[in-house]
Chain A
């Protein structure tokens, strides 16, 4: 071993803990500083894409490129002294009538006007903004997509896209309307009218307030009072230079896939601050492999058992109020199974499935069982995870000290096929596969259920469509009414008609977090569990 290795090893042993006093000081500073910055931020308007581009170095670097002869411009700027007859408000109202809008912005770069940003908008369907700019001399691309449910933001250098809740897709994005903000200050100039896309457009010219000598804003407005073209010029050394050019099209058809969050190969999706919640370390990275590895690793499991080429594991076991038991369990292929059966597509990997029995037993004249109630499950890359609440029955109050896991499990896909071919059983029941002591500490079931929802919400965008589910969402009153018409002879229908409203809990359907509100789901699950306890 080299001498430096010994020294380095020794130095790495140095470890101090920050004091509670330092924690208090820093946390106080974080609270007060960010509260202050939020106040300041709310006092400012949101920057728009056009202004962002104008602030970028692309503009500054290449502003010298486009030269418009001052005399020619002089012709443009002989305005109407009686002012504009098109207002910003009118323009926005007219733009709102369009079903789709497509805008492209250009900025000078390397002596030419080059595309700097592009916006797609389809009312009620989606918004996409794409822009290129320079950051520390490096080309950077930013893409924002909002499909009405989610809003993704991607920066090329980040290698991941951040997902947040949609900001809505009914209203026009500011990035489209904002360039026309100063139209009210413009005047009609008949010398510059132009035919754009076969439509005669009238020119309006003006400038920013207090910068009338150095800036020129030019708008070409069509007969429906919608802007078709926009230019901004600045005066530099006696020459007017175009620093921004925008062109807008209306009601054209574009492919719906433009609103799909495809940011290229190797780009992960992560959840943004809208999804902040107490999920524990590592969970806020929505890379499914990382989340699954962090939370459902066999190394950290409290119980594992291999059977039929599959490994069953218990990852969490909690004692909750009223003797309820909460468990997180999983099933996955063993190393040998993975070697025997290769599949490159994680969504096609399907090795086995499982569900729980009640582990009914008769001991000393007493019947005991642990009724399982599934909260949720996911399946990804061969790993199946289930979140379960067990309702113990037949025990004296306060006498539930352990949980028995009664497991039905079956191989599937290639593994099942191979086992059958080899004359081996492809399914089994082990009662119990595990008897695990419960921890003494009691935790809130409400909190655990809330956490399950958060984890599934986090995973929803990246786990295959049909492989992530919050378990049975009970019927609504309307759905129950419908059920009674379809199945009039069902016993539950009779109960319902007799006024027993709680029977709607026994019929339900699986949903995804995006399809149901967290509080509604949690309340329904808790009610269902309470009903089970009463039985």
Chain B
């Protein structure tokens, strides 16, 4: 936490090294989050790129009030949501799939992305409604609190917790996870 504060302090003052350090520190987590949300690596990398372009521009204004990782994860989620909406819009206009800004594929790509071990998980994640997948990943993967996710999405905490519960239940049934209650 102190390291992030220092990095942001340097970043505010135009330190290129600090910005590179921030990118190097969080890039893999952010690409993973975006890829799990979009089930498409190239679009995921575009999202992370966009997020960092905007972050760079905020150099002097940015103030860290919470966790830097959480902030960047929220940015990725917002950007991914926008892409998802755009994708749905393109689909509803009946455009050719190749013109879509993000691939809707979720089968073989997911397995290739995350490896065979996680093939079942990624394919199950891809079948979740986007809103549930988003909450699940932000909470379980990026470690954001329900309250923070609720503020970011502009919905109540109960809604966020509801989406999370549905997501976990569906995943469990899809994965046929054996659990002891």
Q: A residues within 8 Å of B by Cβ? A: 1-4, 6-8, 10-19, 21-23, 25-27, 29-31, 33-34, 37-38, 41, 135-136, 158-160, 162, 268, 270, 272-273, 276, 282, 284-285, 287, 290
Which one of A14, A162, A268, A272 contacts B114 once the chains associate, using CB atoms below 8 Å? A14
Which one of A1, A23, A29, A273 contacts B13 once the chains associate, using CB atoms below 8 Å? A273
Q: B residues within 8 Å of A by Cβ? A: 2-3, 5-6, 9-10, 13-20, 23, 27-28, 30-32, 35-36, 41, 44-45, 48-49, 52-53, 56-57, 59-60, 63, 113-114, 117-118, 121-122, 136-137, 140-141, 168, 171-172, 175, 177, 179-181
The answer to whether B180 and A37 touch across the interface, beta carbons within 8 angstroms, is no
| CB closest residue in chain B, given A9 | B140
The answer to whether A41 and B14 touch across the interface, beta carbons within 8 angstroms, is yes
Which one of B32, B57, B172 contacts A7 once the chains associate, using CB atoms below 8 Å? B172
A residues near B48, Cβ cutoff 8 Å: 18, 22, 26
Which one of A18, A37, A162 contacts B59 once the chains associate, using CB atoms below 8 Å? A37
The answer to whether B6 and A270 touch across the interface, beta carbons within 8 angstroms, is yes
A-B contact pairs, 26 of them (CB 8 A): A1-B179, A3-B172, A10-B118, A11-B141, A12-B140, A14-B32, A14-B36, A14-B121, A14-B122, A15-B28, A15-B32, A16-B41, A16-B113, A22-B45, A22-B48, A26-B23, A26-B49, A27-B23, A33-B57, A34-B14, A34-B16, A37-B60, A41-B14, A268-B2, A270-B6, A276-B18
Interface centre among B5, B15, B28, B117 (most CB of A within 10 A): B5
The answer to whether B52 and A29 touch across the interface, beta carbons within 8 angstroms, is yes
Instruction: Give 5 A-B pairs besides A3-B177, A11-B141, A34-B56 with Cβ atoms closer than 8 angstroms.
Output: A7-B177, A11-B140, A13-B121, A15-B28, A276-B15
| CB closest residue in chain B, given A17 | B28
Q: Is the interface of B mostly helix, strand, loop or mixed?
A: helix
B residues near A41, Cβ cutoff 8 Å: 14
State in angstroms the CA–CA spacing of A12 and B142 once bound together: 9
The answer to whether B56 and A33 touch across the interface, beta carbons within 8 angstroms, is yes
The answer to whether A31 and B16 touch across the interface, beta carbons within 8 angstroms, is yes
A residues near B179, Cβ cutoff 8 Å: 1-3, 6
Which one of B3, B6, B35, B121 contacts A10 once the chains associate, using CB atoms below 8 Å? B121
B residues near A14, Cβ cutoff 8 Å: 32, 36, 114, 118, 121-122, 141
The answer to whether B10 and A4 touch across the interface, beta carbons within 8 angstroms, is no
The answer to whether B10 and A273 touch across the interface, beta carbons within 8 angstroms, is yes
A319 to chain B, nearest CB (A): 28
The answer to whether A16 and B168 touch across the interface, beta carbons within 8 angstroms, is no
B46 to chain A, nearest CB (A): 9
Q: A7-B177, A11-B136, A272-B10 are in contact. Are A30 and B20 (CB under 8 A)?
A: yes
Q: A7-B177, A11-B136, A23-B27 are in contact. Are A160 and B141 (CB under 8 A)?
A: no
State in angstroms the CA–CA spacing of A90 and B123 once bound together: 77
A residues near B30, Cβ cutoff 8 Å: 18
A residues near B168, Cβ cutoff 8 Å: 3-4, 7
Which one of A26, A27, A31, A160 contacts B2 once the chains associate, using CB atoms below 8 Å? A160
The answer to whether A25 and B49 touch across the interface, beta carbons within 8 angstroms, is yes
| CB closest residue in chain B, given A285 | B3
A residues near B137, Cβ cutoff 8 Å: 11
A398 to chain B, nearest CB (A): 37
State in angstroms the CA–CA spacing of A38 and B59 once bound together: 11
B49 to chain A, nearest CB (A): 5
The answer to whether A12 and B141 touch across the interface, beta carbons within 8 angstroms, is yes
Which one of A1, A27, A38 contacts B180 once the chains associate, using CB atoms below 8 Å? A1
B residues near A4, Cβ cutoff 8 Å: 168
The answer to whether A26 and B52 touch across the interface, beta carbons within 8 angstroms, is yes
The answer to whether A284 and B27 touch across the interface, beta carbons within 8 angstroms, is no
Q: A7-B168, A26-B27 are in contact. Are A16 and B32 (CB under 8 A)?
A: yes
B52 to chain A, nearest CB (A): 5
